[in-house]
Amino acid sequence: MKVALITGVTGQDGAYLAEFLLKKGYFVHGIKRRSSLFNTDRIDHLYQDQHENNVHFKLHYGDLTDSTNLIRIIQETQPDEIYNLAAMSHVQVSFEMPEYTANADGIGTLRLLEAVRILGLEKKTKIYQASTSELYGLVQAVPQSETTPFYPRSPYAVAKMYAYWITVNYREAYNMFACNGILFNHESPLRGETFVTRKITRAAAKIALGLQSCLYLGNLSAQRDWGHAKDYIEAMWLILQQEKAEDFVIATGVTTTVRDFVRMSFAELGIEIEFSGKDQNEKGVIIGFDEALIAELGLKDTHLKPGQTVIRVDEQYFRPTEVDLLLGDPTKSKTKLGWQPKYDLPALVKDMMQADLALMKKDEHLKQAGYHTLNYFE
């Protein structure tokens, strides 16, 4: 039985990857951080009681900032494959926590590579590093491929740039099977609530249900190449199944503005939005309804009206340095890995919108019954 170790198993990608590898018959070890509340919501359905027979999934307390802890977990688990997904992954937050981000996202990757080397597992253990399209940063060329130069634009991207190169260096210096997946943005119903797509789909559902009146966003003109996390975790696995260790771009090859993602999300709920105004004064206004769809979704009593402003711009969400345009070229992954995504952007938006509408309807019922439920901080 193959053994995998996933750092960041409690995150969006970690949860999908753990499920995927368990289905493939792996024994999956995951590293989770200690927290004062349970932080395992995304993987609770995979939980296995360690007292039972035939256990294939085990969690270990750990942190990428603690070398001795990483060495001990790797020694205990003897993994065939390590997926390093743990990171302080929010670009805007990295401007507020640059030193911690460098430590966890940059040096954390070094700690993991060194742990494998210290334990003499260079020949046994393959390593996947979660690299990112944020490395391209300030646009040098589009579409962005494995050969496009990097120009990181945030403490997060700079930390990930170190992680990218230390992975390449350990591959070349010690002949380790260590690879970078340069993944463009990928989303899902499990996406963290403060990333823009999930923030939009959650708010659209609340607005449609009459639970919120307006959504405040930052740069509506930013363009992202958005795919579905379920497709992207499969690419991570494929990268480690190759004969030769190499780096791959994983992307859809289509880019869309935040503004259009808003339009598409509300359209899934039968609400048509038009944008007007410029910069900080831009706003999104309701211009019509798809009555049949609204009735089908059971959204009749929202009291929304044409002319109502539901999107406004708030400067606090602008970044000191922005990445304006990401558009990936997935040619190498399609030809060499045979990777083929199943979701396009409309299918992604539909999946996220349906999940958040169901979530918010459930939340509404719980609130009506007097329970305090979801956390609405952004």
Name the DSSP letter for residue 302.
-
Q: Residue with CB nearest ligand GDR?
A: 222
Q: What stretches of the chain adopt beta strand conformation (E)? A: 3-7, 27-32, 57-61, 81-84, 126-132, 178-183, 186-187, 215-217, 223-224, 227-228, 248-250, 256-257, 271-276, 283-289, 309-313
Determine how many CB atoms are found less than 10 A away from the CB of residue 330: 23
125 vs 256 by CB, closer to ligand GDR: 256
State which of residues 7, 10, 77, 89 lies at the interface with ligand GDR (CB under 6 A): 89
State which of residues 86, 222, 239, 327 lies at the interface with ligand GDR (CB under 6 A): 222
Name the token pair of 176. Answer: 């380790």
Catalytic residue chosen out of the listed positions 156, 170, 232, 343: 156
180's CB contacts (< 8 A; 6+ apart) are 129, 131, 164, 167, 168, 247, 248
Least Å distance, CB 136 to ligand GDR, is 10
Question: Is 117 a binder of ligand NDP (CB under 6 A)?
Answer: no
Question: Is 65 a binder of ligand NDP (CB under 6 A)?
Answer: yes
Asked if 259 and 275 touch (Cβ cutoff 8 Å), the reply is: yes
Q: Active site includes 296?
A: no
Q: Quickly list DSSP for 272-286.
A: EEEEES-GGG-EEEE
Please state, in angstroms and rounded to a whole number, the distance separating the CA atoms of residues 35 and 45.
19
Least Å distance, CB 191 to ligand GDR, is 8
Question: Is 349 a binder of ligand NDP (CB under 6 A)?
Answer: no
Q: Active site includes 156?
A: yes
State which of residues 92, 101, 109, 132 lies at the interface with ligand NDP (CB under 6 A): 132
Question: Is 67 a binder of ligand NDP (CB under 6 A)?
Answer: no
Q: Active site includes 132?
A: yes
Paired residues of 200 in beta bridges: none
Interacting positions 171-190 with ligand NDP (CB under 6 A): 183, 185-186
The footprint of ligand GDR (CB under 6 A) covers: 89, 91-92, 132-134, 184-185, 194-196, 199, 217-219, 222, 224, 258, 317, 319, 322-323
Catalytic sites, residue numbers: 132, 134, 156
